[in-house]
Amino acid sequence: MPVEHEHPVLYDVSQPTRRRILLTLKILGEATARTLSERLGLTPMGIRRHLNALREEGWVDYRVLRYGRGRPTHVYFLTPKTTQLFDQRYAALTIELLSYLKAEQGEEMISHLFEQRAERRAREALARLDTLPLPQRVVVLATILDEDGYMAEWQQVDGGFVICEHHCAIRDVALAFPQACETELAFIRRVLPCAKVERVEHIRNGDHRCTYKILPSKREKH
C-alpha cells in the first residue's frame, strides 16, 4: 500500500539526497543501487530506501537483469515525469507560439528562427573561443553548454574528444520542432571549425543524452 506523504511530491524530491540520486541517474542514464551507493558515498540500504520512495512517487522505475542462477539485479532509471524537474518551464508556451507561426508562415519561418538563434549563440561563443586551440575550445564550449542548461561535460578520447549533454534544455520544443536539433549540431560545428563533429547519441532518437564526437582536422593536427 503506497505511503501517504504529508507534503507535495516536489517537497520530497527537493531533499538533498533524493535530488543527488535523480541527478546521478540523469547523468548515468541508469544505475544499480550499488553503483549509486559508490557514487554518492551512502550505504546501499539507504540508497534503496530512497529509491523505493522515489519509485512510489513515480520519479524512478527499474528493470530486472538476471545473470545465471544468481540473485536478480535491479537497474534504476528516471521516468518521463522527471522532465518537469529540469528546466522546461516555458516549453508549452514556446511550442504553442511556434505552432501559430508555423500555421501562418510555414516551416521555412520556423527554420529561419532557429537558424537565427544558432547564429546568435555562435557569435557569443566565438567571442570566448576564437583564439583558442581545439582542446581548450572543447573545454570552454562544454562550459557554455552547461551554462545554457544542458548539463554538459567533456572527455578526451583516443584521437579526439566527446561532449555529452545529459539534459536537453529545450527537449519538449525539440521533440515538436526538429529544426532545434538540426541547428544545435550546426552551432557546434560552427564554433569548432578546426574539427569534424558528429552526433553519436541523440535524445530525440531515444538515447538518454546527446553526445558529440569531435576529431581534429588535419590542419589542426599540424
* Minimum mean pLDDT range among 15-19, 72-76, 137-141: 15-19
Q: Could you read off the pLDDT of 112-144 as tens digits, one per residue? A: 999 999 999 999 999 999 899 999 999 999 999
Domain interval for residue 120: 105-221
What average pLDDT does the segment 39-56 reach? 91
Q: Which one has a higher pLDDT value, 92 or 32? A: 32
SS (H, E, C) the chain: CCCCCCCCHHHHHCCHHHHHHHHHHHHHCCEEHHHHHHHHCCCHHHHHHHHHHHHHCCCEEEEEECCCCCCCEEEEEECHHHHHHCCCCCHHHHHHHHHHHHHHHCHHHHHHHHHHHHHHHHHHHHHHHCCCCHHHHHHHHHHHHHHCCCCEEEEEECCEEEEEECCCCCHHHHHHCCHHHHHHHHHHHHHCCCEEEEEEECHHHCCCCEEEEEEECHHHHC
Q: How many residues would you count in the chain?
A: 222
What average pLDDT does the segment 58-63 reach? 93
Q: Which one has a higher pLDDT value, 215 or 167? A: 215
Number of domains in the chain: 2
Task: Say if 93 falls within a structural domain.
Answer: no
Model's pTM, two decimal places? 0.67
Task: Say if 95 falls within a structural domain.
Answer: no
Last residue of a domain, one of 31, 54, 85: 85
Same domain, 15 and 109: no
